[in-house]
Amino acid sequence: MKQAKLLFFVGIAAIALNVLSGCKKEPLLTVSTSEITVKPEGESSTFNITSNVQWFISGVPTTWLAVTPSSGEGNALVTVSAQTNTSTERRECTLSIRNIDGAVSKDVHIVQEGTPARISTNLGEVEIGASEDAAGADITITANTAWTISYPDTDWFNLSAKKGEKGTTVISVVPSKENFSDSKRSVDVVISADDGSATCSFKVVQRPVFASNLRVELKDVVTMSDGIAGGIEFGSDAKGYYELYVTARTVSTYTDKEIYNAVINADNRWSITEDFFFSPELDPNTEYVYCVVAYNADAYTGPLMKYTFRTKPTTSTFDARLTSSYSGGWYITSTRANRCARYYQYYLTNGDADRMYSYLTNEYISNALVVYLWINEWVKEDPNYYYIIDTTKYLGTSDSICVINWGVSDTGEFSNELTYIYRTKSSTPLASNKERVKINRNIKRATNLQQ
């Protein structure tokens, strides 16, 4: 009987063991997503784990990513927190979620794009001194990528570096050439990421050597065989000027700075008392450069201004030729040359005649100045007052006379020279007046540049 009971209980136990064995759970592990993308500036994101087993997460790059929780049992909400990606390069990792014995596993791919390339400077403009030995200036470049500097071909400044890596770089901007003018000059400098993904720019500005508002402009210039003359206008701050006439051939052998240094000589300095300029007597058929520099009340100078002219030749086939005779009265006969289509003729008597003769024979006054100051005005006042035939004119009983002619060719070009005659009743010309009468300063040939 006892043996039968024992067999019965053993049978029941076996049945129970078989039942329990048939009900063992299969391990379960799933994730809600297989990939997560986080922003470059850093952010947190989540995914769900559904499981009936214990699990843990591996493959976490702890330098930039945190995963919470990193292990657990059963279902869970996992938070993934990424730090800011300061690099321009993309970074990624794969999280592996496994049960304890590794029987089941799932992967989640984490991707974080790189921060867009950025380049910046602490200054938008860098200003350097006017001279080549002036102090430079520094500019700081901050970038998260490698960079290269570019700018138009320029020879007046240098940079201490034109390439750099990510981080902070200080470069020096140093002048290499003098800004020999009265205005600032500038160049835009571009800093570009080596992959072309970003740019930044700043401006390099060089101060000028000369003061502003001191330019000199010429107008209505008259060129004759013996010199030049014309109107002159000065900048608003000008109080005086230096001038020098130099042959173009000589100018070509000097730098502008050398010419400037020669011009600003006390012998060449004048106050502004007139609105015209005129040269000393110049050689005919020669190219000259009129060099002029204005200065202000503080003695600062403006830029060197250069104007090039060629004097006319002395030979002319269309000048009005004059002959005169005296036979008990004042008779002046004017005879045209073969190409003189017409000529303007002006008669001055007594004191006016004497003064004009002094101008015409003054070594400091050229025909060009006489034309600019007087003849041009006479022509403008009465442009139709001219002769087209040879004339003989009686001038009455004046004490002295001066007759001036300016011929015009058949092509409309004015003569290279004036022709004139001056007579007194005694037929003895007055001595040439060597002092300026109308114009309040002496003129002398400048000699501080070799002519």
Q: Where in the chain is the domain with CATH 2.60.40.10?
A: 29-112, 119-206, 216-310
**Residue 143 is which amino acid?**
A
Q: Which long-range contacts (CB under 8 A, 24 or more apart) does 2-7 make?
A: none
pLDDT at 301: 95
Q: What is the pLDDT of residues 389-439, one digit of tens each?
A: 566 666 666 778 888 877 777 777 777 878 787 877 665 544 333 332 233
Strand bridging mode 105-112 / 91-99: antiparallel
Would you say 186 and 154 are in contact if contact means Cβ atoms under 8 Å apart?
A: no
Q: Is 131 helix (H, G, I), strand (E, B) or coil?
A: coil
| First vs last C-alpha separation in the chain | 153
pLDDT at 146: 93
Q: How far apart are CA 124 and CA 139, in angstroms?
A: 9
290-301 per-residue burial string, b: 16 or more CB within 10 A, e: under 16: bbbbbbbeeeeb
Would you say 289 and 306 are in contact if contact means Cβ atoms under 8 Å apart?
A: yes
Q: How far apart are CA 235 and CA 246, in angstroms?
A: 23
Is residue 355 within a helix (H) or strand (E), and if so which, with residue range?
Answer: helix 350-361
Scan for tokens 């002029």, then name that residue.
Answer: 292
DSSP letters for 195-216: TSS-EEEEEEEE--SSPSS--E
Scan for tokens 């901050």, then name that residue.
Answer: 142
pLDDT at 316: 59
CATH number (2.60.40.10, 3.50.50.60, 3.20.20.140, 1.10.240.10) of 119-206 reads: 2.60.40.10
Integer-rounded Cα radius of gyration of the chain? 49
Write the CATH number of the domain with boundaries 320-424: 2.60.40
Please choose, from the candidates 362, 437, 359, 348, the residue with its C-alpha nearest in 3D space to the C-alpha of residue 399.
348
Fold for domain 216-310? Immunoglobulin-like (2.60.40)
Q: Hey, which residues does 424 pair with through a beta bridge? A: 400
Q: How far apart are CA 431 and CA 354, in angstroms?
A: 10
pLDDT at 11: 52
Q: Hey, which residues does 340 pair with through a beta bridge? A: 409
Q: Which two tokens stand for residue 338?
A: 């073969």
Within the chain, which residues score under 50 in pLDDT? 1, 6-7, 10, 15-17, 19-22, 317, 320, 322-328, 429-451
**Could you check whether the bond before residue 313 is cis, i.e. omega within 30 degrees of 0?**
no
pLDDT at 429: 46
Q: What is the CB-side half-sphere exposure of residue 143 using CA atoms within 13 A?
A: 25
**Cα separation values, 230 from 274, 295, 371, 380, Å:** 11, 20, 9, 15
Would you say 318 and 410 are in contact if contact means Cβ atoms under 8 Å apart?
A: yes
Is residue 19 within a helix (H) or strand (E), and if so which, with residue range?
Answer: helix 2-22
DSSP designation for 177:
S
Taking the CA atoms of 260, 262, 265 and 268 in sequence, report the sign of the dihedral they define.
negative
Q: How far apart are CA 422 and CA 112, in angstroms?
A: 101
Give rounded-to-5 percent helix, strand, coil for the chain.
15, 40, 45
Write the CATH number of the domain with boundaries 29-112: 2.60.40.10
CA 47 remoteness from chain centre: 60
Q: How far apart are CA 343 and CA 405, in angstroms?
A: 6
